Each structure stands twice: as C-alpha cells, then as structure tokens.
Amino acid sequence: MIHLLLIAEESQAGACAAALSASPDHKLVRKDDLAAAGPLLATGVFDAVVTLAPPGDGVTSHLDAIRAAAGTVPLILLTNDYSPAAEQAAYASGADLVMRTPITTAGFTAATSRLLTPAASPAAAPARAAVVNATIPLHSTGLEVLRDFSRVLGYSLDYKLFTQHFVLKLREILSVNRIAIFLESPPAGTPSQAPDPGGKDRLASVAAVGVSNDLIECIELSRRSGIGLQITRSAQILRIDTDSSAACLAADPKIRREFEILGCQVALPINDRERTLGVALIGGRVTGSPLDDAELQLVYHLLEELGLAIKNSWLHHQLSASHRLFSDVLGAITSGSLVIGADLAVLHANRAFLQFLRGAARLDAHVEFAELPAPLASALHDLSEKGILTDPFFITSPHHTGHTYRVSLIPFPNPDRHLPQPVLALIEDFTQILSAQRAEIETSNARLIALIARRFAHEIRNSLVPLSTHHQLLDTDYANEGFRDSLKASLGRETARIQRFTEQMLFLSQPPYPADCLVKLASLLRESFRHANQALGLSCELELTGLEEDVSIRAHRASLMHAMEEIFLNALQEGGDRGPISVHANTSEDDEGHSRITLGFSNPGEGFAPEVAARATEPFFTTRNTGVGLGLTVARRIIENHSGVLEVRIRSVDNPADIILHLPEV
C-alpha cells in the first residue's frame, strides 16, 4: 500500500486526484494547503507528497516550504509548464520527480516505482534482542478475562461497535499504550461507508485507542506488502524486538516503518478459523515492560473469537439485507403475497394481500392463518404439511364483489427436504384478464360466425345460380332436349357440390370415426381419384408407383376415402387437364421403429407458393373463387385421426411432391 499526500485545493485537484486514487495500491489523502497538511507530514506516515504547481512564479517558494516540512519524504510536482528551465528550478527547490499533467494511474505508478522502492542495504542489521523480564500477570484470571470478553462480543451486532469495545477492554487488561484493529472490507450486503475498489487487499482501521484520528484516517495496511503481507502469509504473531522477525524485517523494510508510524511493537492475525480477516497492532505497556508469550497467546485466541464474531456479524448483515430486499420486493409488487412458515404461522403479508383479505380496513394488523379463505387455507396446509402442490386456482374475495383472483403456490423446501415446509402464495387479480379473454372469445366467435355465414352464402349462391337459371327457362324450354340435358347436368353437379360441402361440415363437427377395418390402400386411392375426376368432369390419369396391391392399413374406409378425394380434388383443380396426377409410395420407419407408408402427391401445376403452403390447411382459407376452403382442413383432421400426418410442401429439386401423407402400416 502506497500512502500519498496530495497538497492542492479541491477545485484544482480534480483529474489528478481521480488518477491517483484509482489504483487499489494507493491510499490518497488530500489537503488544501501546507498549513492543513503540516500535522500529517509530522507523523511520517506518507510514502510520497504530491503537489500541483501554483500559477505564476511561486513554484520555487511553494516547493521550498513543502520540502522543509516533509523532510526526506519524496516530493512529486505535477505541472502543465514542462519547460527545461522550469524542471531544473523544481529539482533545485527539492522536487524528486516532475511530471506533466494530465497524468494516468498506470503512468504515475510506473514513473514513481523506482523512486519509492528503497535501495537494498548491504547487510541487514541484526534485530535487537528481546528484553526478557519477569512475567507480569494479567489483572484478572483467564476465566474472568474470557467472561469479560464474552460480554463484549455480545454487546452489539455491529462489528465496528463491538470491535471498539473489544479494543477498550483489551487495553484495560494488558495496560498498553495503544491498539489498532485493521480489517478487510466487509462482503457485499453489509453496512459500508462506500464501495471499496481495493477489495480484500486493503486493510482499513475499524477501531483504535491511543492513536490519533488524523493518523488513522491517513494510513491503511495492505496484504501486498508490509505487515499485512507478512501476517497473511504466516498467520503468526509478529514482534519487532525478536530474532525470529529479523529475516522479514530485512526483506521488507516497510514492516518496521509501519510499526514505527503507529507506535506499536506487536502484530497479531485476526482469524475466523478459516482465513485471516485482518491485523491487530499492539503497542508497549504503559510501564515499559514487554508482553510475554503467555499473554500474547491469550490475546491471539481472543482475537480469533473476535474474528468469528466479525464474520458472524457480516453474515447477519448479509442475511438482514437479503431479508429486507425480499420483503421490499414482495411489498412493492402489485400482486398479493403471503408467506407462511412450517408451523402455518403467517410470516409476511403485503398490502395487496391485506386489501384482498380485509378490504380497506386494518391494513396494518397481523394476519392469522384462521382468517384465510377456506380454499386458500386448505391448499396451503396440503402443500406445507403433505407436500401436495395444487395447480393455480381461482378464488373470490369477500370484500371485492365480482372480482376473481388467481392463486399460485410456491414451496420453499427445507435443506433436508423434510415436511412441513414454508410456502409462498401469490394472489393476482384476474378480473380484467378474464373479462378481456371472454370479450376476445366472443369477438372471435362473432368473426368466425360471420366468416362461415359469408362462405356458406357464397357457396350456396354459386350452386343456386345455374339452378335458378334453369328454373326460369323450365316452362318455355323444357321440350328442348338440350335444355333437359343441361338441367340434368346442373342438378347433378350442384347437388354434388352441396353434398361435398355438407360432408366437410359433418367431418369437422362429428367425433372421429373408429378405424374398424383393413383397407387395401391402392384400391382406395384409385376409387377416390375416380370420384374426384367425376366431380370435376375431367378425365385425367392417375400414376401410382411404389405401392403393392396387397398393402393394407387399418382405417375407417368412408372417411379416409373422403380425405383422399379432397387431396385429389385440390390436385386436379390445380393441374386441370395438363397431365396425370402422380402418387409415389414408399415404406419407412418412424422414430419409434414402427413401419409407415409415405405417399407423395404431385400434379402438373405450379405447386404451392410459400405463403399459401403455410396456411393451406387453415379452415376457410382458399385462393379460388369457388369452395369454402375446408378441403385440406378436413383431410388433415381425418389423416390425424388415423394416426397419420399430412404435410403441405413447397417444391424443390429434392422434393417434387406438393402434399405428403404418412400413414401407419398394418
């Protein structure tokens, strides 16, 4: 951790302060002028002093004053006037480094790394031997000490408060001149003054006694260097006056400097039995005698209890924050929410639920399980006590006549999956939704009825036009043989059209017919093709390939023949007399290994356009002036009733068929 003192007014510091404080390795303290910074410079806590060049010609006097107050602390000048003469004058006045603004965090760190890294000494000085004195007993016995500290750790759930009380009690027991506790940043969800960009590497003071507030404000420890690094690595007690500490003091001179700045002699880890949360620094006794090993061991274990209490405090605050968030979310939603515990006690009921249960009265009163409506209480009891989850259901409110509510239950299983279990109930007002659904259904039904009536009228009118014309000429032209032939043809053609339309409606309205007999598929295809040819008055040919004469399927003959006839009618209307209608058959297996017959229908026409193929089987969809658009709809339903599939395809190089049927083979 690099401790920087920035001497500059807030209006001028701006971007420089932001760049310096952006690194988690920098601890920055800003003061407006040298008068405010002087007491802090006297503490020797800072690794470097950074200042901005004042406007005008006052740079030299400004640097002279800071150098006199800072002593040997490195002095860095930031200026926008980076001329050789100004740079030489700055160095002559005591600056150790001159940098041109604006600066970046990476650039500042790289430029100052060698300046702030001390040169290696030829040989580490031997550590001062520890003074061995007779053990000074504690003021209380061990049991009394533990009793006193148990009271301290139960003082509050706020870790800062009970840590401060811990420090005061520890000072009373040990009779030392100063104690400081440094901890890592608490995890997310615990009360914190501000987000800490340094995370767990920065160890900030949370409690101290005998150390000035100005010093505590300026200094932090770091896990990357100094005492923080050594304690984190070893998790052992570190004493400045012992031979065992000589090696680490020689390897990292910053350890001795941090001890000297804080005026302490011993550093102890604060553990939670899993890892190190921080460091406790303790000074010397007020009598001048050192702490002995037995006392330090007791303090070590007391600090471990403190670490556990701090960890539990953090967990408590995280749990409280999660609970508050959960309560705030449930309270803010417009749906009613109710949470019951495993003992069927009501743990939470938001305002929306209270309005559902009680209307506008007693919105702040506690809810008892006995107040709940019987259907809701029964479903909650079954889910909590028996684990029986009920599908969402509808209930009515006794205080909102005409309103319908939907209830959804969500269980909260216990970690061991044992019953009973807590349950959350969400209650949503579905009155408007159900009303909108009914209105939409009524509107859809009205549109469907209008469409059916329009198509019926159009189709029947098409059939009545030739019949009406012959009726008008019946008295005058009946003796004409040509008239009689035309009348006979019209009667046959139009009655067949009306009969086909009637059969389509019957197949749509009636339940599926049972597939009660074996039908030879080739014979059925030829017969249905002949009927379709006759219905349109055509004489097209049928090309049937790939199908053996004895191949049979289980079907309802009449309905399956009607489906095939509808498919052939569609093909004949598209192809006309331009060529034969082709049906190619092959046998394959479905995904479950069952044998099935695939029939591909194609005609000499142009095939289905992409937009037509997507809607070809929709009821009442048609691209022709005649018909009601039910042919392929009826065919698909009949095929599906025979456990088959009807597909409308777009022609391609690999797929010459327009319609493909898949039917199970016997």
Residues of the chain under the 50 pLDDT cut = 120-140, 193
Kindly report, residue by residue over 475-500, the tens digit of the pLDDT: 888 889 888 888 888 888 888 778 87
Question: Would you state the pLDDT for residue 180?
Answer: 94
Task: Report pTM.
Answer: 0.51
- With contact defined as beta carbons under 8 Å apart, do 236 and 269 qualify? yes
Q: What is residue 322's predicted lDDT score, i.e. its pLDDT?
A: 75
Q: Alpha-carbon dihedral of residues 299, 301, 305, 308, nearest 10 degrees?
A: 120
How many whole angstroms separate alpha carbon 445 and alpha carbon 419? 48
CB 124 within 8 A of CB 37: no
Q: What is the dihedral of CA 159, 239, 134, 306, to 10 degrees?
A: 10
Tokens of residue 250, six digits? 């020689």
**Span between the terminal Cα atoms of the chain, in Å:** 84
* DSSP code string of 352-402: HHHHHHHTTS-SSSPPPGGGS-HHHHHHHHIIIII--PPPPEEEEETTEEE
pLDDT at res. 123: 43
Determine the Cα–Cα distance for residues 222 and 204; give it in Å rounded to an integer. Answer: 9
Distance separating alpha carbons of residues 314 and 189, to the nearest angstrom = 8
Beta 517-520 vs 581-589: how paired, if at all? unpaired
User: Cα separation of 563 and 579, whole Å?
Assistant: 22
Instruction: Tell me what pLDDT residue 122 has.
Output: 44
* pLDDT tens readout for residues 189-204: 665 545 555 567 889 9
**Token pair recorded at residue 440:** 């939409």
With beta carbons less than 8 A apart as the criterion, state whether 37 and 31 touch: yes
Q: What is the pLDDT of residue 432?
A: 81
Spatial distance between the Cα atoms of 51 and 55, rounded to a whole number of angstroms: 12
Tokens representing 109 are: 């760190």
Measured between alpha carbons, how far is 515 from 75 in angstroms, rounded to an integer?
99
As separate numbers, helices (DSSP H) first and strands (DSSP E) second, the chain gives 20, 23
Give the C-alpha separation, 172 to 160, whole Å.
Answer: 19
Whether the CB-CB separation of 110 and 129 falls below 8 Å is answered with no
pLDDT in tens, 261-273: 899 999 999 998 8
Label residue 163 exposed, middle or buried (CB < 10 Å: 0-12, 13-18, 19+). Answer: buried
Rounded Cα gap, residues 163 and 169, in angstroms: 10
Element (H, E) at 218: helix 213-218
Burial of 466 (0-12, 13-18, 19+ CB in 10 A): middle
Question: How many angstroms separate the CA atoms of 339 and 350, rounded?
Answer: 9
- Report DSSP letters for 163-192, one per residue: HHHHHHHHHHHHTBS-EEEEEPPPPTTS--
